[in-house]
Amino acid sequence: MLHTPPPRRPLKVLLATPRGFCAGVDRAIQIVERAIEKYGAPVYVRHEIVHNRHVVDRLRRLGAVFVEELDECPADRPVVFSAHGVPKSVPAEARERRMLYLDATCPLVSKVHVEAQRHHDAGREILLIGHAGHPEVVGTMGQLPEGAVTLIETAADARAYVPRDPANVAFVTQTTLSVDDTAGIVAALRERFPQIAAPHKEDICYATTNRQEAVKVVAAQADVLLVLGSANSSNSVRLVEVGKRAGVKGAYLIDDAEGLDLAWLDGAQSVGVTAGASAPEVLVQGLIDRLAEAFEVTVEDVDTVRETVSFKLPRALTA
């Protein structure tokens, strides 16, 4: 007797746009690829070039060698610094060892470095709003002498901070923070230090802001939210938090389709899907394919902002 499988349950997939790669991640990956093409393998990369396992594994297969510190790299091979930026001591050491280095620091992170330097030159105490231990925070603090920058992680830190001169304080931020959490910390600082010097324009970058806005719109219409990204990717973790606050029943961070647990979708009629700024689009397609095996899927694009930002590659790779 012919056995017909039971019909699959319908599931609406709401695809957040923009999602996935930002201009800084795209540039950083191209720098490693072009460096391997130009100089041959191996090309050393200090720290994960961007925080995504799939990206790192693919570049490793092409000939990149990932290390944590510069002293793990031989002096006669090129080295790339990651998109998160590095303390000033790192390029200084590379120059001293006469190494060929390529800096993949995102220009929007470099902009924060310049701001911090400007405040320091003006004699201000600098507060960096960010997460302890994140490479971007390590890089930004490392632009200036020890003690010149104080890390502020929470509104409670902002309230507890004791400045030398309350009239001479400035703040900068990590680029991949939660827009809403940061607004609370900044409000606490402004309340205490009305004259605090602030960034001319937001330090939280366009890609972080746009992805969080898109997730809010999607999460308002979806039962469950799936975020593609790695656990050490700050902007991906923030997307999960933003989704939870926007009211979805569950929000989950997964590296790829294999991380999906179908039980999360029990009773769900719609699922929002997005990807952190370091997660490749191929992972989104893989997730939709996996959902389509289990459900009668319809995909709807939820378009919020169109992004047109792109960054130039270093001259050494284009000449």
Minimum distance of ligand SF4 from residue 204's CB (angstroms):
8
* Of residues 283, 318, 313, the one with CA closest to residue 58: 283
Among 127, 137, 205, 239, binds ligand SF4 (CB under 6 A): 205
Q: Which of 48, 136, 146, 241 is catalytic?
A: 136
Asked whether the beta carbons of 17 and 214 are under 8 A apart, the reply is yes
Spell 180-192 as b/e; 16+ CB within 10 A means b. Answer: ebbeebbebbeee
The nearer residue to ligand SF4, 83 or 126, going by C-beta atoms, is: 83
Angle at the Cα of 157 (from 151 to 163), degrees rounded to 5? 75
Instruction: Give me 57's structure tokens.
Output: 């594994």
Q: How far apart are CA 16 and CA 217, in angstroms?
A: 8
235 binds ligand SF4 (CB under 6 A): yes
Spell 113-129 as b/e; 16+ CB within 10 A means b. Answer: bebbeebbeeebbbbbb
- 54 φψ region: left (φ > 0), alpha (ψ -120 to 50), beta (else): alpha
207 binds ligand SF4 (CB under 6 A): yes
109 binds ligand SF4 (CB under 6 A): yes
Among 15, 23, 126, 265, binds ligand SF4 (CB under 6 A): 23
- Is residue 136 annotated as part of the catalytic site, yes or no? yes
Residue 68 CB neighbours (<10 A): 10
- Kindly indicate which of the ranges 20-28, 54-62, 85-93, 280-288 contains the residues binding ligand SF4, using the contact rule CB under 6 A: 20-28
35 binds ligand SF4 (CB under 6 A): no
How many residues of this chain bind ligand SF4 (CB under 6 A)? 15
Minimal CB distance to ligand SF4: which residue? Answer: 24
CA distances from 274 to 253, 279, 289, 309 (A): 10, 9, 15, 19
Minimum distance of ligand SF4 from residue 132's CB (angstroms):
18
The nearer residue to ligand SF4, 24 or 250, going by C-beta atoms, is: 24
Asked whether the beta carbons of 13 and 299 are under 8 A apart, the reply is yes
230 binds ligand SF4 (CB under 6 A): no
105 binds ligand SF4 (CB under 6 A): no
129 binds ligand SF4 (CB under 6 A): no
The nearer residue to ligand SF4, 29 or 222, going by C-beta atoms, is: 29
Asked whether the beta carbons of 3 and 291 are under 8 A apart, the reply is no
The nearer residue to ligand SF4, 188 or 240, going by C-beta atoms, is: 240
Q: How far apart are CA 209 and CA 178, in angstroms?
A: 8
139 binds ligand SF4 (CB under 6 A): no
Minimum distance of ligand SF4 from residue 90's CB (angstroms):
18
208 binds ligand SF4 (CB under 6 A): yes
83 binds ligand SF4 (CB under 6 A): yes
Annotated active-site positions, please?
Answer: 136
Q: Which residues in this chain contact ligand SF4 in the complex, by CB under 6 A?
A: 22-25, 83, 106, 108-109, 175-176, 205, 207-208, 235, 277
